[in-house]
Structure 1
């Protein structure tokens, strides 16, 4: 079994290629997960879930099918705003030329930049979390994992490397989480041991999600961050080429008579409508998580999974207290779907129940990649096959 150490985490974090870096992060999470389950048995730790979240993030980082999927759902020809653009362009005598070029302009001038922003934001978040939490897991494994008897001094030495205070700047929740993992190693009551491990997962999840808030918001709002006005400018340049003095004279005349303002206003209305549609599609894409063997979860819908028998009723006071703060529907998966993934409370409600439902799910330990893919990524190459 490969045991990732802090130096390896630092080396992966430093990889410049976001695609290769993401693949290495995903694999490293799975290796860290395997190390911990080697001691705890098949009980999910935070890295177990991080493996599949990072693998999902890789689709956005690689822009995998995202652009094509959005284009397929746009159906701009059915929009009243587009019909208005065609009518005004026809009155200006440029309707045919505009119909030939507008879709390409929207795609290449605006939509590609939106997808690029999403890829960059997801890549930043993927790296940011791994750089901090992956490092701490590797440090924990290298310093505390082999202890056969409880050693308070060793635990204190590990925790001294964590910053006091709450996230996003403090690491108090990480301190609590690794303390609970360590205590679980030596807990003889199987029920309490399981609940301590779940609490540790939730504490790291809360820290992670608080730290990721800027990147999640940037991903979901990428469609509004790219200036839609550039479409109008590109259309005008296409219809009235700067290289043709006759076209520019005609444009000047149309501006003086107020005719181009109608086209510009219609294009602005079209782009506002497209922003809304694309934002909806991006939300669907970003709020999807695939778990093995091939279970696609929509993060906007209630979980349709039961709690394992061992976690139907909870007895650990600190775990119950934490869930009272983050789970507004106690001991139930009702209303777990997050209407707005940019909302930290809604995310944590979903995550709390997801972690609890899947805590003992053996399917989570399926390999994320084939041995050939792992060898390729560790050699710095993009692996072949489905990633």
Structure 2
């Protein structure tokens, strides 16, 4: 069975619950060069791409082209780069509007989207997955020592042995056992497609909303009820689980209030509360995509084997247990987020930011009752991150506990506000081209 292309796979996984983006003034769509799944610009479009208007890295902006980015349905690699750059530009504007010093939700989204990009480009093939799909015993033996050293020196021997026994439990029936040469390609293809689609779905809803916020609030020294009412217009009431946008409505109100207060502690708490509500809404929306991506290796293996229909019901329980077991391994060993000065492992407790205390002074204690109750719900209310490492990233409660700790501990970290791409990469991306390797690693 051939690997499933991302565009075909995405077609079958359309999420009808997403509402159309808010109206936003946009220029005529830009004819972007076509890009292969590996991120290489097709030869037939390179000449046309050279004819695009040259824009400098300093002056080019994507804030007016949000809908064009969303419409780039058949080029997931380029679209992800544009989404990441859009998040950065929105973040830079909104951090300034909020008074500076506090990261906005889009600040975190910038780095999450950039991390997702490495999977979309099939660059991030985690060592455990690589070990499982290798077909040669000697290759596997060469990888195992690196797996055991991955967490560094000083790890208890029992923990290392557990991880090794976990992957050994799965490997006998994996690609080698059935000789399924196309299985690794299919797994990577589905992972890439699911992550790309989730990346798009979140931006499709939130990108236009925050771009509209900038349009309404920029140049307005003290925004009032009129600006807030226009911002909330079109956001549906109701819970996110039912397709509503009540969490987004309250988040916009908190951002609005944060702009108006001069109290640093109150401002920081209002921004954290807004970030948390956007984050919760986003994670509810992402639930099917995350679960599907994490289950991809087991699902692909079972589908490729092609069990007779009579046997499928008999082994269904075993397959579900295997999926849960695999998700635990993936969360512990594969799930990471790359920030400018650190790589966070989502299956492990969150450390303090490099060179900084765990929480900034404004967020060391929480005074806002609404914020405290939300943090308490996901066990992120105290002054420690012990126990926040997720055990199964497919579970909403596990993700939110870690994400809220991340938001609180990194909200005042200045390095999060750095550009996600270097100057040459930025110039290529805003010209709607995928940077070549000579421009540096993405």
Deviation of the 1:355 alpha carbon: 0.4
Pairing 1:23-102 to 2, within 5 Å after superposition: 23-39=81-97, 40-66=99-125, 70-72=129-131, 77=137, 102=176
Please name the residue that 1:258 is paired with: none
Deviation of the 1:272 alpha carbon: 11
Please say if residues 176 and 203 of structure 1, whose CA atoms lie closer than 8 Å, have aligned partners that are also in contact. Answer: yes
Please say if residues 113 and 199 of structure 2, whose CA atoms lie closer than 8 Å, have aligned partners that are also in contact. Answer: yes
* 1:176 equivalent in alignment to 2:250: yes
1:8 is aligned, of 65, 72, 79, to 65
Q: What is the TM-score normalised by the length of structure 2?
A: 0.68
Please name the residue that 1:222 is paired with: 296
Q: Which structure is higher in helix share?
A: 1
Instruction: Tell me the alpha carbon deviations over residues 339-379 of structure 1, each in whole angstroms, 9 at most, x when there is no partner.
Output: 01011011111111110000100111222101211121222
Deviation of the 1:142 alpha carbon: 0.7
Please say if residues 67 and 111 of structure 1, whose CA atoms lie closer than 8 Å, have aligned partners that are also in contact. Answer: no
Pairing 1:147-296 to 2, within 5 Å after superposition: 147-168=220-241, 169-228=243-302, 230-231=304-305, 282-284=330-332, 287-293=335-341, 295-296=342-343
SS of residue matched to 1:26: helix
* 1:386 equivalent in alignment to 2:435: no
SS of residue matched to 2:240: coil
Structure 1 residue ranges without an equivalent (≥5): 86-100, 234-270
What's the RMSD between the two structures over aligned residues?
Answer: 3.0
Please name the residue that 2:217 is paired with: 144
The whole-number CA distance in structure 1 between the counterparts of 2:204 and 2:84 is 12
Structure 2 residue ranges without an equivalent (≥5): 1-58, 142-167, 308-318, 353-357
Which one has a bigger Cα radius of gyration?
Answer: 1
Please say if residues 187 and 300 of structure 2, whose CA atoms lie closer than 8 Å, have aligned partners that are also in contact. Answer: yes
Instruction: Tell me the alpha carbon deviations over residues 44-77 of structure 1, each in whole angstroms, 9 at most, x when there is no partner.
Output: 0000000000000001111114177623456774
The whole-number CA distance in structure 2 between the counterparts of 1:81 and 1:214 is 24
The whole-number CA distance in structure 2 between the counterparts of 1:66 and 1:220 is 13
1:355 is aligned, of 407, 424, 429, to 407
Deviation of the 1:296 alpha carbon: 1.0
Please name the residue that 1:265 is paired with: none
The whole-number CA distance in structure 1 between the counterparts of 2:320 and 2:220 is 59
Deviation of the 1:321 alpha carbon: 2.3
Deviation of the 1:38 alpha carbon: 2.2
| Count of aligned pairs | 332
The whole-number CA distance in structure 2 between the counterparts of 1:13 and 1:188 is 36
Please say if residues 70 and 281 of structure 1, whose CA atoms lie closer than 8 Å, have aligned partners that are also in contact. Answer: no
Q: Would the alpha carbon gap of residues 65 and 201 (structure 1) be closer, same or farther in structure 2, given more than 3 Å must change?
A: closer
The whole-number CA distance in structure 2 between the counterparts of 1:124 and 1:350 is 23
The whole-number CA distance in structure 1 between the counterparts of 2:389 and 2:425 is 34
Q: Would the alpha carbon gap of residues 278 and 347 (structure 1) be closer, same or farther in structure 2, given more than 3 Å must change?
A: closer
* 1:124 equivalent in alignment to 2:197: yes
